[in-house]
Structure 1
């Protein structure tokens, strides 16, 4: 068996979140301490467990703890299973699945769907084509329907509407929820509503007492209306599911969706200069801080990765980056799917600005800094050597001859 210690980011997040109901269970027990006379004292209750007869036992070896005595091993969290054997109705959710995975916006919409489903309904997630997501169960998906086929690949809103109409005619969901986003959900939801002849509620951020409240007037006013069947939800419309596991049982349609001759042809993605993308809209940000000593190498790495450049306030104040590249509460709040922080210690204002990012990668020499604690993936080492390795890895990946030889 491998001796590599693997992290559990979710358990670490719960251990940092004092408001989470499982926070106390994940706090480490102090095994030893120094007494007032300088003598090291040991806690005899470390490693205790409940035996088969209900008697508390003490295990000095740590075997009953599943090897948790191994240094650095994070405890595994087993969430309770939420099971709906015979759903009384469905609440359908069509996540954006940008990059083949659930985004934070998708998880918010799934949390809102569970509020509408209650204890009798089931949340049905509808995904088009292949995906890379492996955490549908912890995201709150009771039933999973995958509509595969080449007709759904790329930008194909007409074919996707046909697929949703097939689901609607066979399963008759009580409500349809889509993220009101610029990554597909907003347009698909409005097209779907037009095909059904229904008036959707848009930019919804709250649902209460069969009323939904959405943003209006350029986001300056709230508009309340009766709860419709089709809802386009804004980000942070509800708390994501994080306290239960769900079955995510596969569902299939009895008949395939009707196919029609598409009037839209997808010509593929258009190359865009990452430097021309506004910080608030960038999906991949490569940000540098006070720990970056070679800024030419930093710029070459960002260009090799195809990322939008960002910076901490210290780097901007020192003149290494423009003020429009500053990330944080005093700069720009970003919502990137991937945020790479190079040599950034993690001031509170900076952490506030990246709070909505899906994945945070930290490159730093200080293993105890706040950015390392916030990151989903951390690389401890000299930034110059790591950036050079990134450039070499990207060059090898883009060179087919080198990749095939490896």
Structure 2
């Protein structure tokens, strides 16, 4: 068995969340603490282990425990299963599914749908095309409807609205929830509302009873209105589901979708220079810090990956990157789906600036730095060697894709 310690981000999050029902079970046993008079107290009953003959032993070196004193075993948490055999009503959710996976905005939307569904309703997620997501169960999805076909590939708002109309006729949901985002949910929701001749609630960030509150006036004002049937919710509209798992039963349309000639033709994606994308809007950021010694290799790697370049404050102050590339509380707050930090130790201002990023990858020599603790994936080693290997892997992948296409 490997001696590499594997992190469990979910278990760590539960251990920090005091409101989670499994919080107490994730807390480590306290062996020592400071008394009211300043003297360190020790729990003598919490030290040691039970030997093969049933006698408790104390091993200060940890050799007889196989190094257990230096290692914390991962706790497997089995969440309770929430089942809805015969739903009284449906709450339909249409996530953006950028890259075929649920984003943080999508999970917030599913958390809001879970609140509206209660114990009698079911959350029905409507997904277009193939997806790569395998965590619908822990995101709060009770029923899953996948609408497949070439008609839904690329930019196809007319076909998607037609598919949603068919879903609406069959399931007659109490509410429709779509993300009010620039990834497609905002436009699709408004088109769908126009086809239903209904007025949606937009930029909703809170729901109280039969009232919803949305942002207005360039985000400076709140507007309260009665809860409509179609809701376009903003990010952080609710807490994502974390304390239950769900069935994710597949459902299908009872009737085939009618084919129609679209008035909009998708001609494919337009190539955009990553350097021209504003930092706050970039989906993939490749950021460098004080640990980068070969900046020419750093720029080459960013170009090979097609990523937008960023930097820490130290790299900007040293003149290696422009001021508008600085990431952090004193620079730009970013919301990238993937953020790669090369040679960045992780100052508190920098960690605040990347707090909304979905996935963080850290490349660093110091396994104990704060960026490694924050990262979802860590690579320990010399940045120059890792970047060269990364460029070689990207070129091999692209050449293999070209051969397969030929």
- TM-score, structure 1 normalization: 0.88
What aligned pairs does 1:320-399 form with structure 2 within 5 A after superposition? 320-399=320-399
Q: How far is 1:13 from its partner?
A: 2.9
What aligned pairs does 1:80-229 form with structure 2 within 5 A after superposition? 80-229=80-229
Cα 1:348/1:268, change in 2 over 3 Å: same
Q: How far is 1:365 from its partner?
A: 1.1
Partner of 2:269: 269
**1:261 match: secondary structure:** coil
**1:91 match: secondary structure:** strand
**2:164 match: secondary structure:** helix
Cα 1:252/1:47, change in 2 over 3 Å: farther
Partner of 2:283: 283
Partner of 1:51: none
**2:199 match: secondary structure:** coil
Q: How far is 1:71 from its partner?
A: 4.0
Instruction: Tell me how far apart the structure 2 counterparts of residues 91 and 58 of structure 1 sit (CA, whole Å).
Output: 55
Cα 1:46/1:116, change in 2 over 3 Å: farther
Query: Does structure 2 conserve the Cα–Cα contact (< 8 Å) formed by 1:396 and 1:403?
Result: no
Deviates more, 1:134-143 or 1:9-18: 9-18
1:207-252 C-alpha deviation (Å, 9 max, x unpaired): 1121111111111111111000000000111111111111111111
Partner of 1:53: none
Query: Does structure 2 conserve the Cα–Cα contact (< 8 Å) formed by 1:364 and 1:383?
Result: yes
Q: How far is 1:330 from its partner?
A: 1.1
1:350-369 C-alpha deviation (Å, 9 max, x unpaired): 11111111101011111111
Partner of 2:313: 313
Instruction: Tell me how far apart the structure 2 counterparts of residues 138 and 24 of structure 1 sit (CA, whole Å).
Output: 20
**1:243 match: secondary structure:** coil
Residue 236 (str. 1) matches residue 236 (str. 2): yes
Q: How far is 1:259 from its partner?
A: 2.0
Cα 1:47/1:142, change in 2 over 3 Å: farther
Instruction: Tell me how far apart the structure 2 counterparts of residues 160 and 401 of structure 1 sit (CA, whole Å).
Output: 30
Deviates more, 1:252-261 or 1:326-335: 252-261
Instruction: Tell me how far apart the structure 2 counterparts of residues 306 and 81 of structure 1 sit (CA, whole Å).
Output: 41
Deviates more, 1:14-23 or 1:371-380: 14-23
Query: Does structure 2 conserve the Cα–Cα contact (< 8 Å) formed by 1:193 and 1:199?
Result: yes
Q: How far is 1:6 from its partner?
A: 4.9
**1:266 match: secondary structure:** coil
Cα 1:72/1:361, change in 2 over 3 Å: farther
Query: Does structure 2 conserve the Cα–Cα contact (< 8 Å) formed by 1:123 and 1:140?
Result: yes
Instruction: Tell me how far apart the structure 2 counterparts of residues 95 and 217 of structure 1 sit (CA, whole Å).
Output: 26
**2:92 match: secondary structure:** strand
Instruction: Tell me how far apart the structure 2 counterparts of residues 86 and 361 of structure 1 sit (CA, whole Å).
Output: 43
- For structure 2, the residue ranges without an aligned partner over 5 or more in a row are 34-38, 59-67
Query: Does structure 2 conserve the Cα–Cα contact (< 8 Å) formed by 1:166 and 1:258?
Result: no
Instruction: Tell me how far apart the structure 1 counterparts of residues 122 and 373 of structure 2 sit (CA, whole Å).
Output: 35
Instruction: Tell me how far apart the structure 1 counterparts of residues 204 and 401 of structure 2 sit (CA, whole Å).
Output: 50
**1:362 match: secondary structure:** strand
1:150-205 C-alpha deviation (Å, 9 max, x unpaired): 11111111000010000000000000000000000000000000000000001111
Deviates more, 1:94-103 or 1:254-263: 254-263
Query: Does structure 2 conserve the Cα–Cα contact (< 8 Å) formed by 1:334 and 1:354?
Result: yes
RMSD (Å), alpha carbons: 2.8
- TM-score, structure 2 normalization: 0.88
Cα 1:31/1:216, change in 2 over 3 Å: closer
Q: How far is 1:19 from its partner?
A: 5.0
- For structure 1, the residue ranges without an aligned partner over 5 or more in a row are 49-55, 61-67
Partner of 1:400: 400
Query: Does structure 2 conserve the Cα–Cα contact (< 8 Å) formed by 1:7 and 1:73?
Result: no
Q: How far is 1:256 from its partner?
A: 2.0
Instruction: Tell me how far apart the structure 1 counterparts of residues 261 and 403 of structure 2 sit (CA, whole Å).
Output: 40
1:51-94 C-alpha deviation (Å, 9 max, x unpaired): xxxxx99999xxxxxxx999454221111111111110000000
